[in-house]
């Protein structure tokens, strides 16, 4: 640009920046009201025209301003000038909005009044733009409209009736093996082992009770040796224990070793210790004159047995009621099957009628389809000529596009070669700078500090010495801790061994006591009478028999 044009452009840019808030009010309102369909990328164009009309119209003159307006798009300028130079808009909301930024009297005298004075002359320019818009006629290119033609479709072959699939035969089920109803050998072996163990337990049961009472009396005797009554009782127990030992020699039961961890050993040892304390407390209470709760326990056991019998009778009643409801459900199911058979016969008859109607409908549709195919074949012949013309037109377009692409590729290659050449020169310069020699060696004294002025500063030599002393102290602490851990481990192992000895003793005694209890229970069960069944159970069994007979009769009829 020359000097005058450059000055004009710079003044316009500075003015648009300075009065941006005023110009944004007008342009934003234009986009909201009349310029809804205008592009947002043309916003700066409207800002410049608004600035020239408001602040530079007097200096430019109407002739120069109209020349600038006419050089731009006619429709856009006509729409914006008609909106901006509207007398109603200038006197109302434009004046009010500008008064928010500047004094209202200043706005009216310096900007609104000059615009109103220029309004009649600008209106003439707007009329000229209106005439230009009315006189111009747009040339609309008419394109060839393709006429649709029917396709030449081939006649489809009639579909073959599908062959029905064969009904798959059910596979033969394997019979139940006879081993299902025979008891396994392992069960017999287990029964023999149980009998042998019971015989061994019967032999050693008396010894177990005598030894247990001796342990209890010995524990009390340590603390009450000076009590004459207790001392006499302990001596009698000791004499009876010696007599039983010589009369019935002890036969050890084969114990299968079980591997236990430390937690299990301590847990079981605590359990047996607690049981021993409870037993000692019970014996002490008896010595003091407490009552033996054996009668109450026997009565409690009998009452619990009666409750258990009632519960079993109630469970048997519920089971029989469930069986009765099952028989009733089977009868209801058979009745439903008969009703479904009748409904199925009716459905088959309706299906045959619908198949006949469907066959007639298909024949009619095939006739209509044949007629439609004949019409499409005639239209397909006319479509070939239009296809050839379209193909020639497309080939011509492709040739033009290929030529443009070649030119663009050539320009892009030239630009890329220029970039690579500049990059290569820059790399050569960097490598030349890097090849210059530089001093990198530096003498370091390990006995000096960094000189940063900190209290905790030290040299590398001092740091190494301190690290060596710290490693020695850590190693000594580790050795001490290791010795302590070994001692604790040995003490724990000794405790576990003691607990294991105690557990083995208690297990042997409890096993013998359990065997004796099992023998007593067996004798009581053999001597006792079988309980009489409840009347409710007998009634339910009779009803089930009747329902079963009725169901079998119904099945034979079906």
3-state secondary structure 345-412: HHHHHHHHHHHHHHHHHHHHHHHHHHHHHHHHHHHHHHHHHHHHHHHHHHHHHHHHHHHHHHHHHHHH
Domain range summary for the chain, segments of one domain joined by +: 3-102
Position 245 pLDDT exceeds 60: no
pLDDT for position 247: 45
The pLDDT-based confidence of 205 (bands split at 50, 70, 90) is low
Residue 307, pLDDT > 70, answer yes
Give Dmax (Cα) for the chain: 148
What is the pLDDT at residue 238? 52
Identify the burial level of 108 via C-beta atoms within 10 angstroms of its C-beta, where 0-12 means exposed, 13-18 middle and 19 or more buried: middle
Give the C-alpha separation, 287 to 229, whole Å.
10
- More reliable by pLDDT, 64 or 389: 64
Highest mean pLDDT among 34-38, 107-111, 278-282: 107-111
Answer yes or no: is pLDDT of 436 > 90. no
Residue 301 has pLDDT above 60, yes or no: yes
For 228-278, the three-class secondary structure string (H helix, E strand, C coil) is HHHHHHHHHHHHHHHHHHHHCCCCCCCCCCCCCCHHHHHHHHHHHHHHHHH
Written as one string, the DSSP assignment of 109-158 is IIIIHHHHHHHHHHHHHHHHHHHHHHH--PPPPP-PPPPP----PPPPPP
pLDDT of residue 142: 64
Q: What is the pLDDT of residue 259?
A: 64
Report the alpha-carbon angle 112-117-122, nearest 5: 105
Task: Provide mean pLDDT across the span 428-435.
Answer: 82
**pLDDT attached to residue 248:** 42
Mean pLDDT of all residues in 439-455: 74
Residue 429 CA: distances (Å) to CA of 247, 426, 438, 484: 116, 5, 17, 71
**Could you tell me if 541 and 327 are in contact, meaning their C-beta atoms sit under 8 angstroms apart?**
no
- Tell me the pLDDT of the chain averaged across its residues: 80
The total of other beta-carbon atoms located within 10 Å of residue 490's CB is 10
Query: Do residues 500 and 257 touch, judged by C-beta distance below 8 A?
Result: no
| Comparison of pLDDT for 171 and 319, the residue scoring more | 319
And the tokens for 76?
A: 């856009």
Inter-residue contact 115 to 163 (CB < 8 Å): no
% of the chain exceeding 90 in pLDDT: 5
Distance linking the first and last C-alpha atoms of the chain: 112
Q: What is the pLDDT of residues 481-515, one digit of tens each?
A: 999 999 999 998 898 888 888 888 888 888 888 88
Contact 64, 72 (CB under 8 A): no
Most confident of 180-189, 248-257, 411-420, 427-436: 411-420
The yes-or-no verdict on residue 79 having pLDDT over 70 is yes
Residue 380 — very low, low, confident or very high, per pLDDT cuts 50/70/90? Answer: confident
pLDDT at 220 > cutoff 60: no
Of the candidates 74, 92, 72, which has an alpha carbon nearest to the alpha carbon of residue 26? 92
Lowest mean pLDDT among 124-138, 245-259, 458-472: 245-259
Percent of the chain with pLDDT over 70: 84
Q: Please tell me which residue, 383 or 552, carries the higher pLDDT value.
A: 552
Identify whether the C-beta of residue 12 lies closer than 8 Å to the C-beta of residue 48: yes
Q: Are 284 and 220 in contact (CB under 8 A)?
A: yes
For residue 131, give every residue at least 6 positions away whose Cβ sits within 8 Å of its Cβ, in sequence order, or none. none
Element (H, E) at 70: helix 62-71
Q: Show Cβ contacts of residue 42 under 8 Å, excluding neighbours closer than 6 positions.
A: 76
Q: Between these two residues, 195 and 388, which has the higher pLDDT value?
A: 195
Q: How far apart are CA 41 and CA 501, in angstroms?
A: 98
Most confident among 173-182, 294-303, 361-370, 458-467 (mean pLDDT): 458-467
Q: Chain-centre distance of CA 363, in angstroms?
A: 56
- Give the integer Cα–Cα distance in Å for 502 and 504: 6
pLDDT of residue 204: 63
How would residue 253 be classed by pLDDT, with cut points 50, 70 and 90? very low
* Band of residue 529 on the pLDDT scale cut at 50, 70, 90: very low
So what's the pLDDT on residue 139? Answer: 52
Predicted confidence at residue 475, as pLDDT, reads 95
Q: What is the pLDDT of residue 468?
A: 94
What gap in Å lies between CA 194 and CA 199, rounded to an integer? Answer: 9
The predicted structure's pLDDT at residue 250: 41
Whether residue 358 has pLDDT greater than 90: no
Dist. CA 248–CA 228, nearest whole Å: 30
Q: Calculate mean pLDDT across residues 246-257.
A: 45
CA distance 296 to 317: 32
102 CB-near residues (< 8 Å, 6+ apart): none
Q: Please report the pLDDT score of residue 219 as a whole number.
A: 45
Residue 175 DSSP class? P
């Amino acid at each position: 640009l020359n000097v005058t044009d450059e000055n004009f452009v710079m003044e316009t840019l500075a003015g648009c920046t300075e009065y941006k808030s005023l110009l944004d009010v007008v342009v934003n309102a234009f986009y909201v009201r009349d310029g809804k369909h205008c592009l947002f990328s043309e916003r700066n164009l409207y800002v410049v025209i608004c600035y020239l009309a408001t602040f530079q119209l007097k200096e430019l003159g109407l002739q120069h301003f109209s020349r600038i307006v006419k050089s731009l798009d006619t429709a856009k300028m006509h729409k914006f000038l008609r909106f901006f130079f509207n007398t109603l808009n200038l006197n109302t909301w434009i004046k009010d909005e500008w008064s928010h930024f500047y004094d209202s009297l200043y706005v009216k005298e310096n900007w609104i009044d000059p615009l109103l004075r220029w309004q009649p002359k600008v209106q003439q320019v707007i009329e000229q733009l209106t005439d230009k818009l009315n006189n111009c006629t747009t040339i609309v290119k008419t394109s060839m409209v393709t006429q649709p033609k029917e396709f030449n479709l081939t006649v489809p072959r009639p579909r073959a009736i599908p062959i029905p699939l064969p009904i798959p035969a059910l596979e033969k089920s394997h019979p139940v093996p006879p081993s299902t109803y025979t008891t396994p050998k392992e069960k017999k072996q287990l029964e023999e082992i149980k009998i042998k163990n019971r015989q061994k337990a019967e032999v050693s049961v008396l010894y177990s009770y005598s030894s247990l009472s001796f342990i209890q009396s010995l524990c009390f005797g340590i603390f009450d040796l000076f009590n004459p009554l207790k001392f006499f009782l302990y001596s009698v127990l000791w004499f009876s224990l010696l007599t039983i030992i010589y009369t019935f020699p002890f036969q050890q039961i084969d114990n299968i070793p079980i591997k236990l961890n430390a937690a299990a050993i301590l847990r079981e040892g605590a359990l047996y210790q607690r049981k021993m304390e409870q037993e000692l407390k019970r014996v002490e209470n008896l010595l003091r004159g407490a009552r033996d709760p054996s009668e109450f326990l026997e009565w409690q056991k009998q009452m619990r047995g009666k409750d258990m019998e009632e519960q079993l009778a109630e469970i048997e009643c519920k089971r029989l009621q469930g069986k009765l409801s099952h028989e009733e459900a089977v009868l209801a199911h058979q009745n439903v099957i008969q009703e479904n058979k009748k409904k199925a016969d009716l459905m088959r008859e309706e299906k045959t009628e619908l198949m006949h109607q469907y066959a007639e409908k298909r024949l009619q549709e095939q006739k209509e389809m044949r007629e439609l195919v004949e019409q499409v074949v005639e239209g397909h012949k006319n479509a070939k000529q239009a296809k050839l013309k379209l193909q020639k037109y497309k080939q011509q377009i492709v040739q033009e596009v290929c030529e443009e692409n070649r030119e663009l590729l050539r320009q892009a290659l030239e630009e890329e070669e220029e970039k690579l050449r500049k990059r290569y020169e820059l790399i050569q310069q960097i490598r030349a700078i890097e090849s210059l020699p530089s001093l990198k060696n530096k003498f370091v004294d390990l006995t000096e500090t960094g000189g940063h002025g900190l209290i905790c500063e030290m040299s590398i030599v001092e740091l190494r010495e301190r690290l060596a002393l710290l490693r020695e102290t850590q190693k000594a602490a580790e050795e001490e801790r290791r010795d302590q851990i070994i001692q604790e481990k040995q003490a724990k192992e000794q405790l576990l061994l003691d607990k294991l000895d105690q557990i083995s003793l208690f297990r042997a005694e409890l096993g013998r006591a359990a065997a004796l209890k099992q023998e007593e229970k067996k004798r009581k069960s053999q001597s006792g009478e079988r309980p009489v069944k409840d009347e409710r159970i007998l009634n339910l069994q009779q009803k089930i028999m009747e329902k079963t007979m009725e169901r079998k009769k119904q099945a034979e009829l079906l």
